[in-house]
């Protein structure tokens, strides 16, 4: 089954304790992205990756790191989590679409709900 898998799905942690949220896709997609979703703010992009070893900042990258060493994996790292990073996180992937093809349809993971105390 084609899917994006995120882990953990739920996590409660404390301020300053490093954590990693893993994301893996089995569709051979070039593009992967992390979003956070907060009430009233919609989905905001944290980081994205166009391909292996190519990553770039989204709208809200502060406090996060990512890496793309393999095509299928795109982990999100919170080096020193703070309470304002309490949120629902989604990983997504797509093919590289151009020219109005609509091929860049995002497939989302199930989400990871993170609480930082």
Partner 1 sequence: QKEVEQNSGPLSVPEGAIASLNCTYSDRGSQSFFWYRQYSGKSPELIMFIYSNGDKEDGRFTAQLNKASQYVSLLIRDSQPSDSATYLCAVDVWDNNDMRFGAGTRLTVKP
Q: What are the residues binding partner 1 (CB under 8 A)? A: 31, 33, 35, 40-45, 48, 50, 90, 94, 96-102, 104-106, 108-111
Least distance from partner 1 to the Cβ atom of residue 90, Å: 6
C-beta of 80 vs 96, nearer to partner 1 = 96
Token reading at 57: 């900042």
Residue 1 DSSP code = -
C-beta of 17 vs 57, nearer to partner 1 = 57
C-beta of 15 vs 28, nearer to partner 1 = 28
CA separation for the pair 77, 10 (Å, rounded): 15
Q: Count CB neighbours of 86 within 10 A.
A: 16
- Ramachandran angles phi, psi of 69, nearest 5°: -85, -25
The 10 Å CB-count burial string (b at 16+, else e) for 20-51 is: ebebbbeeebebbbbbbeeeeeebebbbbbee
Least distance from partner 1 to the Cβ atom of residue 33, Å: 7
Least distance from partner 1 to the Cβ atom of residue 86, Å: 16
C-beta of 10 vs 69, nearer to partner 1 = 10
Least distance from partner 1 to the Cβ atom of residue 108, Å: 4
């Amino acid at each position: 089954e084609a899917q994006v898998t995120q882990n953990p799905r739920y996590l409660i942690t404390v301020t300053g304790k490093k954590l990693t949220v893993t994301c893996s896709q089995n569709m051979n997609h070039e593009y992967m992205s992390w979003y956070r979703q907060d009430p009233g703010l919609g989905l905001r992009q944290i980081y994205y990756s166009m391909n292996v070893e190519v990553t770039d900042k989204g709208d809200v990258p502060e406090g996060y790191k990512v890496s793309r060493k393999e095509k299928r994996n795109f982990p999100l790292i919170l080096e020193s989590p703070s309470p304002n990073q309490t949120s629902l996180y989604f990983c997504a992937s797509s093919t590289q679409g151009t020219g109005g093809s609509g091929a860049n349809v995002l497939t989302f993971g199930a989400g990871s709900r993170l609480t930082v105390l």
